[in-house]
Amino acid sequence: MDTWDPALYQEKHAFVWKYGQELVGLLEPRPGERILDVGCGPGQLTAQIAAAGAEVTGIDNSAAMVAEARKNYPALHFEEVDASRMKYDREFHAVFSNAALHWIRDAGAAASGMARALLPGGRLAVELGGKGNVEQLQDAIARALAGFRIKTPESPWFYPGIGEYASMLERHGLEVNSAALFDRPTPLPGGLGDWIAMFGGRILAVVGAERREAFIRQVEENAKPALWRDGEWLADYRRLRITAKKG
Ligand code: BEZ
């Protein structure tokens, strides 16, 4: 089921693509290059890559996000594709992905698809949630669910460490050039409630509409000591950023 809400994403979660601009710098897109943007969302970073003169294909698993991206950037090319099932074969000079790969449960299939999509000598520049990502936030949610006597749903997210992700890329024929795992405490303009509404659809579904507000208040109470700083909510994001090359 497509639970993505492009309006809420663009209104309250623009920080996702704003932080991703640094990764576009690492990608160094050049005029005339063909570049694949995996998990492009509403397309802001796809457009920045295109602005460098590259020919970009933005893909996303969410029909709603692809529709929004097409609306935002009608001149660019977007496709609704599941990154663990992509079939591109030696078509791109570079593959880029920001804040998307941690959503893909079959990470091996996504790595294999990205490697296959690259031309020989092609580059990969990706950033995703890394080992330890949103640990405090998830803990606050799990404790609130336990208080409501609800079993925590299986996590939809995959947060690998450097060794795990780099080895996986190597197994698919990529040479890892740089890897970093770092904290990025991220202010949430819409607070924890909007973050959960945006990304925790499955959790809210099990909580139910009538208990939603009480549940969010409980998550806030649980999270406050760790995630409330100087009058704003922070997400305890940790990023894994990797660049690699196909031999
Ligand atoms: C992240 O970007 O790390 C993230 C976003 C939504 C849910 C979980 C993690």
* Residues in Cβ contact with 77 at an 8 Å cutoff, skipping those fewer than 6 apart: 55, 56, 57, 58
Q: What is the pLDDT of residues 53-112, one digit of tens each?
A: 999 999 999 999 999 999 999 999 999 999 999 999 999 999 999 999 999 989 999 999
pLDDT at residue number 35: 98
Query: E strand or H helix at 220, and its extent?
Result: helix 212-227
Backbone angles phi, psi at 98, to 5 degrees: -120, 125
| Residue 92 CA, ligand 1 centroid: distance in Å | 27
The yes-or-no verdict on residue 3 having pLDDT over 80 is no
Please tell me the residue having the least CA distance from ligand 1 atom 7.
Answer: 199
pLDDT at residue number 2: 76
Asked if 159 contacts 183 with a C-beta cutoff of 8 angstroms, the reply is no
Ligand 1 binding pocket (C-beta < 6 A) is: 99, 102, 129, 133-134, 157, 199, 237
Q: Which of 237, 238, 240, 241 should be mutated for ligand 1, with most atoms under 8 A from CB?
A: 237
- Pick the atom of ligand 1 nearest to 16's CA: 2
Please tell me the residue having the least CA distance from ligand 1 atom 4.
Answer: 129
Domains of the chain from N-terminus onward? 6-133+157-187+236-246 (3.40.50.150)
Identity of residue 123: R
